Structure 1
C-alpha cells in the first residue's frame, strides 16, 4: 500500500488535481487515497470501478491500487452484468462509494495489477491482464518522450476506462504534474474556461476530437499555456496531421502522433513533432524501451510486432485466467506495416479483415460467412463509419441481416443489389468496386433529424455537444423522441436524454428480440387509457391519474433537475409549465363557449382553490391543476434550494416525500387542500427518479406502500396505483413487439391532449362506449399531431426569416450565455471586428 501513497505524499504541496470547484495538492490527494485504500479491506481481490473524470473516481482507482487490489475500470452508466457474472468482483465502486460483495475466492497472480477491456470487444468478457511493471514502464516511457514536467497540467478529454485516457493519468502522476479532471467536451465553452483558468498545457485527442476542434474555431483560440497535443486512438489523415502540425508551429505548440493498443498498456510508438510535416503517414518510432519489427525485409510489407516491458501478461477470458502469469512475450499487432528507415514505421492496413465501428470490432470475413448461412451471397467492406455491402438480395433484407449479426444500427449499413458480385482478375473479391457500387449517402444525421423534428429546431444549427435536455426537451417531447430514437439506435442508451447528440449518433446497441419500451412511456399510455375508459364507463379501473402524477414527479427529477445552472433549471421548469398550462387554458376557453362543462375559475386552473366544488367542474381537470401548481411551487423552491438539491439529490427528494406524507395525513378529505394532499404522489415519483441504489429503491417502495394504504378506501384502486409506481421504481424497460411499442409511444405522446379533450368527445357516442373511448384517444393523437405540425411550420418559417433565432434556440445554455454577454457588452477597442469574433468563438456547428 505504502509506495504509491508515499510517492504522492512526497510531492507535497504541488497541485495534483484540479476540477471545476476545487484543487487538491499531492499531499491532500495522498490523504484521500489512503482513506479510500482502507475501504478496500481483506485479501487481494477484483475492484470493478465505474469511472468518470472526477476526483471520486481517481481516488477510488488509486485507493484500490494502493490496497493491493486489481482495479477493473468500466464506463459509468453502462450494463456491466456480463463482466460481473464472469469475474465476480469483490468490490464495486461507483459515485455512491465502495460496495463490498464479500470474498469471491479469486486466485490472482502476484504480478497482476490492472484489468482493462480490449477496445472493441463489446459484449465479451475478454480482458487484458497488466502488471505493475507494465504500468510503470509505459508511464515512464510516455513521460520521457513527451518531456512531461512538474509544471505541466493535462486536461482529461478521454475516459479513464480507455487505456489512452488512463495513460495520461499515470504519466502525469508519475512526474508530479497536475491533472484537470473534467467530463466536458472540447466543444463546451466551460472546458476552455477551465483550461485557461488552471493554465493547462496539454490535452489528448482521437481523430474525431480534431474534427470537433475544427468546428469550434480552435485555430483562433488564445491558449497561452498550451505546450503540446497528443493524438492516438486511430489513424488520422496525413493531410489533417500536416494541418495541425503547421497550426502548432504557428501558435507555439507541438503535435505528437502516437500508436498503441491496450495490449501494450497504451503506447508502442510516437512520431516526433519535427517529423509530422515530412512523414505524416508514419506511426513513428518505438517508445523508449520498446522495439518494433516488421516480418519482412526493409521497405516491404509484413506484420508489425512489438517487444517491450509494457507488453501485457496476456488475455483473460474468465476468472480462472487471473491466476496465470505471463503468456505473451511479443505482441503481434495484426497491422500490416513497412519500415521506412531512420527507425520510422508506417502502417498500411490490417492483416485480417477487421473493422472498428460504434465501439464494435467486426470481422468482415465472418460477416460474409454469416450472411451466406442466411442465404445471402455478399461482399462486405467498410467506408468511414458505415458498412458497405453488395449482395444478390434485397437491400432492405441485407441491412436488417447485417444489423442483426453485427449489432450496428441499420442506418450504418449501405447495401445494394447486384446481378453479379465484382471480382478481381485473380478471382478474389473486388472491394473497391463494392464501394463504388454503393455510393455514400447524404451525410444527414438521423438522430439529429429526430431532435430537430420533435423539438422544432433547425438541424443544421444543433450543437453536437448538446443533449436532449439542453435543447429544451421535457417530459412531453421525451416520449416522441425516445420512440423515434428506438428505431434509429436499436435500443436506447441509459440516460440518453442527458447524452450529447454526437454520442447518440455513434451509439449502437446489439439487436435483440422485440423492442425495449421504457416503463414510463408504457405507464403513461396505460394510464390515459384507464382514465378515458373509466370516465366513459367502459370499465371501472380508477387510479390512472394518480399514476400520471407519480410519472410527472419522476420526469421532474429526470428533466427539470439536470446538471445545468440554476437559471437554466428555472427556465426549463417555466417552459414545462407553459407546455401544460397553455393548452389547458386554451381548451377550457373553447369549451366554455360551446358547453357548460367548465367555470371561469377553470381558466385560472384554480378551481380546486376557488370553486365551485361540484364534481363535474372540479373533478374533470384536477390532475392538470394539481400538476401546474406543484410545478409553480417547486420552481420557486428550485431557485432557493438549488445548491442543496445538487449536493444531496436523493435526500432532498426524500425530504419532500416526507413533507407530502405529512400533508397527506394532516389534511385528509379536504377538497380545498387537494393539491397539498396529492403532492406526495408527485414526490414519490421524484424520489424514485433519484434512487440510484437498491436500498434507496427499497425505501421508496416501502414508503409508497405505507402511504397508499387506506388513501382511496378502495383496495383494488390502491393496488393498481401501487403496482404502477412500483414498476416505475424497479423496471426500467419492458420488451414488447415493435408495433405495440410504437402504438404506446403515440398514445403516451398525446396523453395531455387526450386528457383535456376526452370529456367532450366520448359523450358524443352515447351508449357506444368502446367507440367513445377509441374516438377520444384518436382525437388526442390527432390534436397532438396537429399542434406539432403547427410548431414545425412556425420553426421553419422562423428559420427562413431569422437564422439567428434558430441558431440561438439550438445552442447549449453556456453558448446562449456567451452570446448574450457578447451582444450586450460595449464595442471592442478600435480595430477589433466583433462580428468575426462572434463567428470564431460562438459558433455551434
Structure 2
C-alpha cells in the first residue's frame, strides 16, 4: 500500500488520514455486516485516492453513513483534493452541483456507489490550503460554504480527542450524518486516536440501533437536543449499556433541566455527559462543559477547547459584561465561499465572530445569553427566517418566521393552507415537517414603523395551542385522542407520553395495527410522527401483539374452566405474568419518581374502583360476599373456608403487588436502582418471591400465604421479561419459569400452559393473526379485568348450556367495561369543565 505521489506544493494529506495504516489490525469500522480493520480501511482509501489521481480536483462526496462514503471522504483528503461533503441526493445536493460544478462526483447511482469523473483536470483554481467544504451549520442547499484547511481538520480532531480523553478502545456510533460538521467531528476525532466507528444510519429510536450498539461494545454516541426526547421515549435510562463511557451533546442549546437530568443519570450509571458548543466555522467545536460541572452549571457552555481562546467584542445597547462571543484557534475556518471563484481565496478570517451574545460567569465559565441576528439553530441546522419568508413570498404566501431550538414558527396570512406551507418549508429548507409550526393569522402584528413586531408574534404563538399536525399524522392523532380521551395530542407525543396504560394499550394496538399494518416492536414509546406511514393497500398478513393474545386467551380459559366447558387452568397465573410485563412497559417509564408513583396510583385506581363497585352491587342484591371481599382483604382476614370469597384472589394479589412495588419505588434508592439495573431488580424480586414458593419459612404458599406472594413471584418474572435484552437475559427468564413453575400446582397441563405463555412473552413480540381475530382478541383482552369480575354472577345461571354461558359471561364483562369507560369519560369531562 502506497500513498498517492506528487501532491501539489503546500498541499498534503490530513495527518490522521495519512497515518491510518499505522493502527494496523485494530478495528476501524464496525457495521451490522462486519468489521473493517485500520489496515483494510487504509488500503481502500489509498486505492480510491489513486483513482482520483495527482491533479487536484474539486471532489463532491455524498456524505452518507456508509463505508463507501467514509472511504471517499478520506480518499479525497488523503490525495489533497478539496472535498465538498453534501447530503446524499435531493434538491440540496443538485443545487450545490449546479452552483460549484465539481470535477468529480462520488455517490450512489441506482443503488450502486459510483465515481463520476466529469473532467480529467479541474475547472477551478483551488487554493493550496483548501481541504474541505461544508454547508454552514448544516444549512443544506445554500451556496454559502465554509472553507476548511487540513490544519483546521487536524487541530479540531486533536482538540476534541484531548478533552474527551478518546482511547484506542473506544467505539463511537454515528448517530449524526457524515456531512454535518458535528457528525464529521466524531469520525475525525476517533480516527485520529485509532478508535473505532460503529457506522450506521439507524436512529436511536430504532431497537436495532441499540442491539448493534451493545453487540459492537459501543462506548459513546453524539446527540443534538432532539435526540434526548427520543432517548426518553425509548427508555434509555433503563437500558443496560455496560461499555458506555460518555455521551456528547451539541447542535443547539440543551435545556438545562434536561442536561442536569442526564448528568445525574450518567453519574448513577457510570458515564459522563459532555455538553459542547461549536459552529461549522470552527470545524465543529469551540467550548465544552467539563462533565463534573453539568449538574451544577448546566446552563453554561463551559471553557474553550484545548488550543482555543474566547473573548467578548462590544455590542451596542447590551448590559455591562455582555458582548459578542469571539473565538480564536487553529480550527477557525479560512473563510466562506459563495461562488466557485472563492475557492481560490486564502485565509480571510483571523478569528470567528460567532453572532452569539455571551458573558463570563464569576467561576470563569462562559454562558450564552442570546443572538445578534435572527438566525436560529433547529435540530442543529442553521435556518435563516428571512430566507424562509422570501421563499414563501415567491409562492404567494405572505409570512413572518421565528426560530427556536426546537421549532420554526411560520405565521402565515391571507388564508394560506397550513399543510402546503409546512410542506414548502420542509422540502426547501431541509427541516422535518414535525418542527415546522404554522400559525394562520388574519394579519401580522406590526410596530409603528411598519416592521413586524416579533416579540408580539412570539407572545401570540405562545398563547395559541399547537394544533394537531396536518398531513399523514392527522388521522393518527385523532385516533390517539379518541382512545385516550385527550385533547392535547400532537405528533410529538407517544402513547406512554399521553398516559396510556395496559388497558388502553390493547385497544390502541389493535386499532393502530388495523391502520398501519404490522407495528414496530416499541410503538408505544415512539412519537406519533415517527410511526410508519399507512400502507397503500391493507396488508394481507396481520399480526397480534403477544401480550394482547395472551390476555385474551387467558380470560377465555379462566371462564371456560370455571363453567366448566373444558378443564385447562392456569390462565389467572398467566395474567399475573402479563400484568408484570405491562407494568414495566407503562408504569416504569423514564419520568421522575413522583410521576412514576402517580402512574402506579392511576393504574391501581382503574383496578380497584370498578372492582369495589361491582362487589358492592352484588352485596346489595345477594349474600354471596362479605365486607372483607369488598375491601379486598379476604386473603388476609378470611374467612379461609368461604365458598365464594376466594373469587377475587387474583385481583387482591395484583393490588397487593402494585401497592408493595409502589412503596418500594417510592424510596429514592430503589428508584435509582431500578433505573440503573432494570433487569436485575425484577429478577431479585422474583427470587425473594420464590422463598414462599419453596416453603423456606415453613409456610405453604398455596394455602398459608396471601395470594400476593404467588403474584409477586410471577409478576416479577413478567416484569423481568419486559426488561430482558439480548439472548442471555431472555434465556434466564425462560429457564427461571421452566424451572420454578412445574411442581407448584401438581397439574402438568396447568404448569405447561404458564411456562409456554412465558416463552411466548419473552421470545415473540407478535403472533400471526387475521383481522377478525385481532378485533375479537382486542375486545376480550381490553375487557379481561371486567370479565373476570362479572363472570362469577353470570355462568352459574347457564351451567346446562356451557357454550352460551361462556358467550354470556364474556358479553357481560365487555358491557361492564364499556360502562366503566363511559363513567370515567363523564367524570373527566366534568373535571375539566369544573362542574
SS at match of 2:268: helix
For 1:503 and 1:27, locate their aligned partners in 2 and report how far apart those are by CA, in whole Å.
Answer: 44
CA apart distance, 1:434: 3.1
What are the residue-to-residue correspondences of 1:445-464 with 2, within 5 Å? 446-449=471-474
Aligned residues: 510
Q: What's the CA shift string for 1:283-310, capped at 9, x where partnerless?
A: 1111001011122499622111111100
- Aligned residue number for residue 338 of structure 2: 317
Give the match for residue 260 of structure 2: 242
Distance in structure 1 (CA, Å) of the matches to 2:140 and 2:250: 20
2:36 paired residue number: 24
Report the CA distance between 1:99 and its aligned residue: 2.0
1:827 corresponds to which residue?
Answer: 737
1:108 and 2:108 are equivalent in the alignment: no
Distance 1:382 1:167, change over 3 A: closer
Distance, in Å, in 1 between the alignment partners of 2:257 and 2:177 is 27
Q: 1:434 aligns with which of 439, 459, 481?
A: 459
Shift of 1:61: 1.4
Deviation at 1:37, TM superposition (A): 1.4
Q: Measured at CA, do residues 430 and 53 of structure 1 come closer, stay the same or move farther in structure 2, by a change above 3 Å? A: closer
Q: Which one of the candidate residues 34, 57, 60 is aligned to 2:72?
A: 60
Matches for 1:766-845 after TM superposition, within 5 Å? 827=737
Query: For each residue in 1:384-434, what CA deviation from the matched residue of structure 2 results, as whole angstroms up to 9, or x when unmatched?
Result: 65454678x55547997898689576962113346965789x997543763
Which moved further from structure 2: 379-388 or 183-192?
379-388
Do residues 160 (structure 1) and 185 (structure 2) align? no
TM-score (normalised: structure 1): 0.52
Partner in structure 2 of residue 811 of structure 1: none
Alignment pair present for 1:41 and 2:53: yes
Counterparts in 2 of 1:821 and 1:291: CA distance versus 1, 3 Å: same
- Larger Rg belongs to: 2
CA distance change for structure 1 residues 90 and 451 in 2, over 3 Å: closer, same or farther? Answer: farther
SS in 2 for 1:209: helix
User: What whole-Å deviation, never above 9, does each CA across 1:642-674 have from its counterpart, x for those lacking one?
Assistant: xxxxxxxxxxxxxxxxxxxxxxxxxxxxxxxxx
Q: Is the 8 A contact 1:4 1:66 kept in 2?
A: no
Instruction: Verify the 8 A CA contact 1:17 1:24 in the aligned structure 2.
Output: yes
Q: Using the TM superposition, give the Cα deviation of residue 342 of structure 1 relative to its aligned residue in structure 2, in angstroms.
A: 3.6
Q: Choose which of 103, 109, 115 in structure 2 pairs with 1:98.
A: 115
CA drift of 1:78 comes to: 2.3
* Residue correspondence of structure 1 range 590-739 to structure 2 within 5 A: none
Which residue of structure 2 lines up, in the alignment, with residue 85 of structure 1?
Answer: 98
Distance 2:88 2:444 in 1: 47
Aligned residue in 2 for 1:601: none
The 5 Å alignment of 1:372-391 reads 380-382=401-403, 385-388=406-409
Note the alpha carbon deviations across 1:670-705, whole angstroms, 9 max, x for none.
Answer: xxxxxxxxxxxxxxxxxxxxxxxxxxxxxxxxxxxx
Q: Which runs of 5+ in 2 are unaligned?
A: 5-14, 484-490, 498-508, 518-524, 544-723, 742-756, 767-835
Rate the CA distance shift 1:146–1:287 in 2: closer, same or farther, 3 A: same
CA distance in 2, matches of 1:237, 1:838: 38
**Partner SS state of residue 58, structure 1:** helix
Name the SS for the 2:267 alignment partner.
helix
Are 1:142 and 2:155 matched, yes or no? Answer: no
CA distance in 2, matches of 1:573, 1:59: 42
> Which of 165, 175, 180 pairs up with 2:193?
175
- Displacement of 1:233: 0.5
1:131 paired to 2:149: yes
Query: Which segment is superposed worse, 436-445 or 318-327?
Result: 436-445
The alpha-carbon distance between structure 1 residues 423 and 203, as it changes in their structure 2 partners (threshold 3 A), is farther
SS of 2:73 mapped into structure 1: helix
How far did 1:47 drift?
1.3
CA distance, structure 2, for counterparts of residue 8 and residue 373 of structure 1:
49
The correspondence for 1:341, drawn from 350, 362, 373, is 362
Q: Give the 3 Å change call, closer, same or farther, for CA 823–336 of structure 1 in structure 2.
A: same
How far apart, in 2, do the equivalents of 1:117 and 1:106 lie?
A: 19
* Partner-residue secondary structure (3-state), 1:159: coil
> Aligned equivalents of 1:315 and 1:195: distance in 2?
37
| Contact 2:377–2:405 (8 Å) recurs in 1 | no
Matches of 1:72 and 1:270, distance apart in 2: 27
Contact 2:99/2:340 (<8 A) preserved = yes
Aligned-pair CA distance for 1:375: 11
Contact 1:389–1:438 (8 Å) recurs in 2: no
* Native 8 Å contact 1:46 1:69 kept in 2: yes
User: How do residues 145-294 of structure 1 correspond to structure 2 at under 5 angstroms?
Assistant: 145-294=163-312
Q: Larger deviation: 92-101 or 253-262?
A: 92-101
Contact 1:74 1:161 in 2 (8 A): yes
In the superposition, the TM-score normalised over structure 2's length comes to: 0.53
Deviation at 1:838, TM superposition (A): 8.9
Q: Which moved more, 1:329-338 or 1:820-829?
A: 820-829
Checking the alignment, whether the CA contact within 8 Å between 1:164 and 1:266 is kept in structure 2 is yes
Q: For 2:200 and 2:398, how far apart are their aligned partners in 1?
A: 48
- Note closer, same or farther for the CA distance 1:332–1:226 as it changes in structure 2 (3 Å cut): same
Post-superposition Cα deviations, 1:798-828, rounded to whole Å, max 9, x if no partner, equal xxxxxxxxxxxxxxxx999999999988639
With over 3 angstroms needed to count, the CA separation of the structure-2 counterparts of 1:46 and 1:388, relative to structure 1, is closer
Residue 316 to residue 441, structure 1, CA distance change in 2 (3 Å): same
Show CA shifts across 1:455-499 (max 9, x none): 9x98877899xxxxxx99xxxx99x9xxxxxxxxxxxxxxxxxxx
8 Å contact 1:152–1:178 — kept in the other structure?
A: yes
Shift of 1:51: 2.3
Contact 1:390 1:418 in 2 (8 A): no
Mapped contact 2:167–2:193 kept (Cα < 8 A): yes
Contact 1:368-1:379 at 8 Å conserved across structures: yes
* Equivalent position of 2:86 in the other structure: 74
**SS of aligned partner of 1:447:** coil
CA distance in 1, matches of 2:168, 2:394: 58
Q: Distance in 1 between matches of 2:35 and 2:406?
A: 39
Change (3 A) 1:232 1:415: same
Does the CA-based 8 Å contact 1:231-1:257 persist in structure 2?
yes
| Aligned with residue 351 of structure 1, among 348, 368, 372 | 372
2:437 — aligned with what? 412
Name the residue aligned to 2:136.
118
Partners of 2:733 and 2:445 lie apart in 1 by 61
Distance 2:437 2:374 in 1: 18
For 1:577-596, list aligned pairs within 5 A. Answer: none
Output the CA distance in 2 between the equivalents of 1:293 and 1:45: 38
Cα drift, residue 208 of structure 1: 1.0
* CA pair 427-58 structure 1, distance change in 2 beyond 3 A: closer
Aligned equivalents of 1:575, 1:376: Cα separation in 2: 44
Q: Residues 521-560 of structure 1 correspond to what in structure 2 (within 5 A)?
A: none
Does the aligned pair in 1 maintain the 2:82–2:132 contact within 8 Å?
yes
CA contact (8 A) 1:44 1:68 kept: yes
Structure 1 CA distance for aligned equivalents of residues 138 and 359 of structure 2: 25
Task: Name the Cα RMSD after superposition.
Answer: 4.9
Q: Partners of 2:28 and 2:350 in 1: how far apart?
A: 35
Distance 2:410 2:101 in 1: 40
**Alignment partners' CA distance in 2, 1:819 and 1:575:** 28
Shift of 1:57: 1.6
Q: Supply the distance in 2 between the matched residues of 1:368 and 1:113 (Cα, whole angstroms).
A: 34
CA distance in 2, matches of 1:830, 1:338: 63
- 2:473 is paired with a residue whose SS is helix
Aligned equivalents of 2:94, 2:143: Cα separation in 1: 10
